[in-house]
Amino acid sequence: MLKIEGLTAEVDGKEILKGVDLEIPTGELHAIMGPNGSGKSTLSYVLAGREGYEVTGGSVTFNGRDLLAMEPEERAAAGLFLAFQYPVELPGVGNATFLRTALNAIRRARGESDLDAMQFLKLARQRLKELHMPEEMLKRGVNVGFSGGEKKRNEVLQMALLQPRFAVLDETDSGLDIDALRIVADGVNALRGPEFSALVITHYQRLLEYIVPDRVHVLMGGRIVRSGGPELAQELEASGYASVQAA
Amino acid sequence: MSAVTETIDTVQSVTEGTYKWGFETDIDMEFAPKGLNEDIVRFISKKKNEPEWLLEWRLKAFAIWQKMEEPRWAAVKFPPIDYQDAYYFAAPKQKAKPKSLDEVDPELLRTYEKLGIPLKEQAILAGVEGAGEVPADSRVPVAVDAVFDSVSVATTFKERLAKEGIIFCSISEAVQNHPELVRQYLGTVVPQGDNFFAALNSAVFTDGSFVYIPKGVRCPMELSTYFRINAKSTGQFERTLIIADEGSYVSYLEGCTAPMRDENQLHAAVVELIALDDATIKYSTVQNWYPGDEQGRGGIYNFVTKRAHCRGKRSKVSWTQVETGSAITWKYPSCVLLGDDSVGEFYSVAITNNFQQADTGTKMIHVGKRTTSTIVSKGISAGRGQNTYRGLVRVLPGATQARNYTQCDSMLIGDQCGAHTVPYIENRCITAKVEHEATTSRIAEDQLFYCRQRGLSEEDAVGLIVNGFCREVLKELPMEFAVEAQKLLQISLEGSVG
């Protein structure tokens, strides 16, 4: 269970989150929708612990632990995964090396033993197959020279390998064609289960046709202004955010 | 004999003995007395049972050195070195061999372990009784010639190499067993008077490695030397000479470590490579000498002259270096491209952290026609480290259609370090083409955050990003060395972030 209470945060001295309250029970997938500048990405970075995103009030607990007191890598080890809106390039770092290093770091934090290169390769190949991605993905530099769609798919591949307990997908659907969208959705849906929960941040309802959320929240002006079932997404698609503001 | 007389005799014999041999034997080393003069040069030569011509050669070098001044053009700072306050000869004393690895200095074994030397070879290197030769079918064929301070202690794989006619031994042995080869080539690439440190080395070099690959032979294994500076206040002056005869190939690995000492130690090596027609020499260095502590106390002064002559047509020399250690590195592995169509390469990673200083680079001298050279230099500065790339590409008028490509990339970690690039380009040939590219970058915050979000600690993230930055160079290293080098990069940057 992820529990956010009265969360306020600022970036460069400007308050972006103005008191967010949100509960995502284990096993559920929630969506956050909202117009540009409403604080969606800020929320995802605050959850992941990025420098420069300063929490000024409120609390976030993850399965009872104080998430905000943890370093970014500790949050990752606790099972938090952020699929980046703009995945970062690491020149010269092979994707396989990166993935194996990350996986082993998290395994170690969980008290599990490292996977050697062969074990890793076997696992990675299996995941690639499930996600209908070419094996060549492993050989390239991390996100270097990837198209927008490839970068997003690479995020999903990482997620599939790291098997997080809680995933935040920050506009993973942006810039994806319909095939890529399906692959991303399949990747998320494959993880769904009683032990996995997720927060899907999106502009559009489109993604939510493939990843059907348990709950939908509308974030505007740094606050959750409305919550509802999956039908809320369709309503927003039809009438826009302005209607929410008016309501 | 009265007690008094006996005492006097004893004292006399002891003091005379000490004087006569000039040894300090309180620990397990044999020293020549401190200081440097003609007698020390003679002492070293005599101790090594050298022929007259070599003694003359050393004395000539010493005479030249006395007239020279320490170079001051490099962008490094250090207090004046008192050359009279150092030992110029230190040999491990012959003592009972350890019965097993348990009896070997654990520090030594740790060093080997870090360097990834298999246990069986560790035993041989440490001179364990009955450890024998490394089996010829050992999985990773690496022949090792270990240099502890000045004397080469062990050479492995000799038999297998001998079958191919390859000579791989300490240079002292080569002087005894192959004097004609040594005499023909020694000092022909780096003459005695080449520079201050080369002159010093020529006068007092104590050991090093010698390699000769006969015509048409491809050396079946990587040849490897581990240098290790052990004794306190000992300058180490190795001399390495590698000759690749026509159509031959050799890959040579040099690994350097030194245990922690709270005193600066001078290391002034000379390495000479000679490649004849169609021969290839690949020379890889991983240098991990003690860099000094976080306050900049102690550490090795690494003032090294490395040069290759591509004498033959289509000959090729490739230098790859990963320099993570030493307080000061002053080193420019160079290629003189004499033969037509000869090729010179220089791939370098230099890391400076804390108070380390590195002034390193290469010289590519194009003499022959259609000669090509490639320079890829990656400098990483962290802490208060200062990193300078200094390179010279010189194309002589006869080097028609010569080509050079130079790429210098610098990475800065933190805001108190420095990166400097000093490329000299002298092109006197109208048909030659010389290219130079340079970049300076920082590790971006978003890269670090991305890695940490995936579970990597900040230090692991830096290590990974730096390794990526250096990939073009690291991929030039032989496999078993590449892994070690990657670890070293990470170790060297410990404490550089956060």
Tell me whether residue B48 is in a domain.
no
Residue A72, min C-alpha distance to chain B (Å): 5
pLDDT band of residue B292 (cuts 50, 70, 90) is confident
Instruction: Among B442, B470, B492, identify where a domain stops.
Output: B442
Residue B15's pLDDT is: 34
Cβ contact, residue pair B450, A84, below 8 Å: yes
**Could you give the 3-state DSSP secondary structure of residue B151?**
strand
- For residues B14 and B114, membership in a common domain is answered with no
Tell me whether residue B51 is in a domain.
no
Question: Shortest CA distance to B239 belongs to which of B170, B167, B181?
Answer: B170
Handedness of CA B321, B322, B323, B325 (dihedral sign): negative
- Domain housing B266: 91-442
Instruction: Among B393, B416, B442, identify where a domain stops.
Output: B442
Residue B307's pLDDT is: 95
> Which two tokens mark A117?
């290169």
A105: nearest CB among B444, B450, B456:
B456
Cβ contact, residue pair A88, B450, below 8 Å: yes
Tell me whether residue A128 is in a domain.
no
> Which two tokens mark A73?
């890598």
Residue A61's pLDDT is: 95
A90: nearest CB among B445, B453, B468:
B468
Contacts B458 to A, Cβ<8 Å: 73
- Single-letter amino acid, residue B73: W
Contacts B447 to A, Cβ<8 Å: 88-90
Provide the domain count of chain B: 2
Tell me whether residue A157 is in a domain.
no
Tell me whether residue A104 is in a domain.
no
Query: Can you count the helices (H) and strands (E) in chain B?
Result: 13, 23
Tell me whether residue B486 is in a domain.
no
- Domain housing A18: 2-90+164-246
Q: Does A82 touch chain B (CB under 8 A)?
A: yes
Tell me whether residue B491 is in a domain.
no
Tell me whether residue A99 is in a domain.
no
Strand B357-366 relative to strand B328-331, pairing: parallel
Mind listing the pLDDT tens digit for each residue in B429-464?
999 999 999 888 888 889 999 999 999 998 889 888
Q: Does A71 touch chain B (CB under 8 A)?
A: yes
Tell me whether residue A64 is in a domain.
yes
Q: Which residues neighbour A209 within 8 Å (Cβ) at sequence distance 6 or greater?
A: none
Mind listing the pLDDT tens digit for each residue in A210-247?
999 999 999 999 999 999 999 888 888 888 887 776 44
> Which two tokens mark B100?
């097993």
B464: nearest CB among A101, A158, A162:
A101
Contacts A52 to B, Cβ<8 Å: 445
A73: nearest CB among B446, B455, B467:
B455
Tell me whether residue B485 is in a domain.
no
Provide the domain count of chain A: 1
pLDDT band of residue B142 (cuts 50, 70, 90) is low
Tell me whether residue A125 is in a domain.
no
Mind listing the pLDDT tens digit for each residue in A145-167?
888 888 888 999 999 999 999 99
B449: nearest CB among A50, A81, A98:
A50
Residue A88, min C-alpha distance to chain B (Å): 6
What's the rounded Cα separation, in Å, for the pair A35 and A54?
22
Tell me whether residue B367 is in a domain.
yes
Q: Which residues neighbour A69 within 8 Å (Cβ) at sequence distance 6 or greater?
A: none
What's the rounded Cα separation, in Å, for the pair B23 and A25?
78
Interface test with A, best of B347, B449, B453, B472 (most A CBs within 10 A): B453
pTM of this prediction exceeds 0.95: no
Contacts A76 to B, Cβ<8 Å: 452-455
Tell me whether residue A119 is in a domain.
no
Rounded to an integer, the average pLDDT of B65-89 is: 79
pLDDT band of residue B232 (cuts 50, 70, 90) is very low
- For residues B15 and B118, membership in a common domain is answered with no
CATH number for the domain that contains residue A237: 3.40.50.300
Tell me whether residue B344 is in a domain.
yes
Strand A53-62 relative to strand A2-11, pairing: antiparallel
**Could you give the 3-state DSSP secondary structure of residue B213?**
strand
Q: Does A11 touch chain B (CB under 8 A)?
A: no
Q: Does B144 touch chain A (CB under 8 A)?
A: no
Tell me whether residue B264 is in a domain.
yes
Residue A217's pLDDT is: 95
Tell me whether residue A174 is in a domain.
yes
A93: nearest CB among B444, B449, B467:
B467
What's the rounded Cα separation, in Å, for the pair B292 and B19?
35
Strand A166-170 relative to strand A80-83, pairing: parallel
- Single-letter amino acid, residue B125: L
Which residues does residue A31 pair with via DSSP β-bridges, in sequence order?
A200, A216
CA nearest to B454 within chain A: A102
